[in-house]
Amino acid sequence: MHEEVILSMKNITVQYGSTTVLDDVSIDIHDHDSVGIIGPNGGGKTTLLKVMLGLVTPVKGEVTICGLPVEKGLTHVGYVPQRENFLSDFPISVMDVVMMGRYPKRGMFKRYTAEDKELAMEALRYVDMAEYAHRQIGQLSGGQQQRVFIARAIACDPEILLLDEPTSSIDPVQQNAFYEMLKDLNKKMAVVIVSHDISAISVNVEEIVCLNRTLHYHGSSELTEEILEDTYQCPLQFISHGHIPHRVLKEHDHV
């Protein structure tokens, strides 16, 4: 069913001081996979993402992207951060933000070419933001900014797209369109979403990774009550798949 391993993490252990954040986590992501990473806050979701991006170096274990070590493999990764840390009046246009996505293909000392501009524009057209190309990024709404950041991530034609809490900046009405776009992108690249929104994720991806310091589950997104209880260590919203996803809130012992 799956052919090529795009991103491989073997026995990843991460420690912050004396705290072990990730303990012996191994995950392989293949081309055309769509994976949701869930788990409680502080369970290591963000850290795992940072390991994939080479921002956190594990004390143990190995990460490869398309068979390359992380720093070199990052040219095959498109990353959509949760929220950019820029001030809303930062002097940069939408087009210049998307052009940043072409940087890994060029690198230092090499100017962007007409081809880079065309590919950046194409990415903007794909996310339906071409008409805003010359606007200042801070003038856009949260949802529009996110589409620009997706354009930047796909401008380098990546093998894998990583998204950190992508639905936090868009309102519920836009979520369906957003997941439709991801499904379309998934035809060309693997998609990995880190999210706390279990119900939305589980209906929109094929595989789920449950993370709470260790890897609790990695498999089909048909989650069972047991898997979630095991990951979150307490009963919680149970998701069932049907034509209309619905939730049943179970009795909570801890409150």
Contacting positions for other proteins (CB under 8 A): 53-55, 71, 74-75, 77, 79, 81, 84-86, 89-93, 96-97, 100-101, 103-104, 107-109, 136
Give the residue among 34, 37, 32, 27 at the shortest CA–CA distance from 7: 27
For residues 26 and 12, the answer to whether their CB atoms sit within 8 Å is: yes
Phi and psi torsions of 95, nearest 5° = -60, -45
In terms of Cα–Cα distance, which of 191, 181, 166 is closest to 84? 166
The DSSP bridge partners found for residue 15 are: 20
Nearest distance from residue 50's CB to other proteins, in Å?
9
Structural element, H or E, at residue 105: helix 103-106
Q: Note whether 116 and 99 are within 8 A (CB).
A: yes
Tokens 């026995």 sit at which residue? Answer: 11
**Least distance in Å: CB of 85 to other proteins?**
6
Q: Which is nearer to other proteins, 79 or 217 (CB)?
A: 79
Count the neighbouring beta carbons within 10 Å of the beta carbon of residue 90.
Answer: 12
Report, in Å, the least distance between residue 235 CB and other proteins: 36
Q: Which C-beta is closer to other proteins: that of 118 or that of 184? A: 118
State the minimum distance, in angstroms, from the CB of residue 247 to other proteins.
Answer: 34
**Residues forming beta bridges with residue 214, ordered by sequence position:** 212
Task: Pick between residue 75 and residue 169 the one whose CB is nearest to other proteins.
Answer: 75
108 close to 68: Cβ distance less than 8 angstroms: no
Distances (CA, A) of 66 to 16, 43, 69: 28, 27, 8
Considering the complex, state which of residue 151 and residue 208 has its C-beta at the smaller distance from other proteins.
151
Taking the complex as a whole, the smallest distance from the CB of residue 82 to other proteins amounts, in Å, to 11
Nearest distance from C-beta of residue 134 to other proteins, angstroms: 9
